[in-house]
Amino acid sequence: MVTASAALEAVTTGPGGVLTSPDATPGVLIDCTTVSAQVSALIRNAAAKRGTDFLAATVSGNPKVIIAGKLTVAVSGSPEVFGQVEPLLAVLGRRVTYVGEGEAARLVKIAHNVFLGVVTQSLAEITILAEKGGVSRAAFLEFLNDSVMGSTFTRYKSPALVNLDFKPTFTMPLLRKDFDLGLSAARELEVPMPLAAATAQLVTGAIGAGHLEEDFASLILEQARNSGIALEPQNVPVDDGPSPQA
C-alpha cells in the first residue's frame, strides 16, 4: 500500500521493484493502493508476464479504525487466487468482500472516497449552519450522531470538527487525487456526478488556501470562512466511536 500511481509503479515495475528484480518473483502480489483502473491493469499485465498473480485489495479505514479491528477490504482479480489468500486478508480487519474480476476493487474504492469527500463537505456545511445560528458544534454533532442520520464516520470525525484538531489521517491533496480519479471514471462511464464535481472544486479551493498537510476535515475551516465566522476549538471531550477490540 503506497500513496498513488507513481509510487505503485516505482515499487513494482520501477528499478528494484518487486516485478523487476532478477532475484525473485512473487507468486501473488496484493496491492491496496487507491489508483485508477488503468494503472492497476498495467501492473496486472506486468505481473502476468512474470507469472505473478495480482489482486487489487483496496481498504477502508485509517490507523484508528485498523487498531479497532474494523478495517474493511474490497478485492478483485482471480476468484481462485482470492480463495487462496482470503484467510490472510481476513487478519487485516472485520470484513473482506470479493467484488469481481479485473480492476473492480479500484472503482469500489474510488467511489468510496468520493462519497467520503462529499459527506465531509456536507457535514461541514450543516455544522456551520447550526453554529452560525447559535448552536455549539459539540451539541449539534452529539444530536446528529445519536440520530438515524449519524454514522460511524460522522462520529469519527466529530472530535476534529469540535476541537479543530486536524492531525492528518487523510490529507486534502490525497482526497483531490481520488476526486480526479472518480470524475475521470464518471466521464468514461457517462455517469453524471454533479455533487462530486462541486465538492471537488471546494477541495481544490481548500488546497489553494493552504490546507495541504492537515486532515481533510479542515474543510470546515473554509466553510466557516465563506460563511463569515471564525471558529475556535471548543476543547470538550467527544466520543469518536471506534474502540480497540479485545
Structure confidence by residue, pLDDT tens digits, 21-35: 888 889 999 999 988
Q: Which of 105, 96, 86 is nearest to 40 (CA)?
A: 105
Structure confidence by residue, pLDDT tens digits, 139-181: 999 999 999 999 989 999 999 999 999 999 999 999 999 999 9
Structure confidence by residue, pLDDT tens digits, 213-223: 999 999 999 99
Distance CA 50, CA 20 (A): 9
C-beta separation of 102 from 41 below 8 A:
yes
Distance CA 116, CA 171 (A): 12
Which amino acid does the sequence have at 16?
A: G
Q: Which of 5, 46, 11, 1 is nearest to 184 (CA)?
A: 5
Q: Which domains does the chain have, with CATH numbers?
A: 5-102 (3.40.50.720), 107-226 (1.10.1040.10)
Average pLDDT over residues 59-87: 91
Which helix (DSSP H) or strand (DSSP E) does residue 58 occupy? strand 53-60
Tell me 230's DSSP state. -
**Which grid coordinates are listed for 236?**
470538550
C-beta separation of 178 from 114 below 8 A:
yes
Q: Which of 17, 23, 22, 20 is nearest to 2 (CA)?
A: 17
| Cβ count near 191 (within 10 Å) | 12
- Please give the pLDDT value at position 73: 96
Note the pTM of the prediction, 2 decimals.
Answer: 0.88
**Which grid coordinates are listed for 4?**
498513488
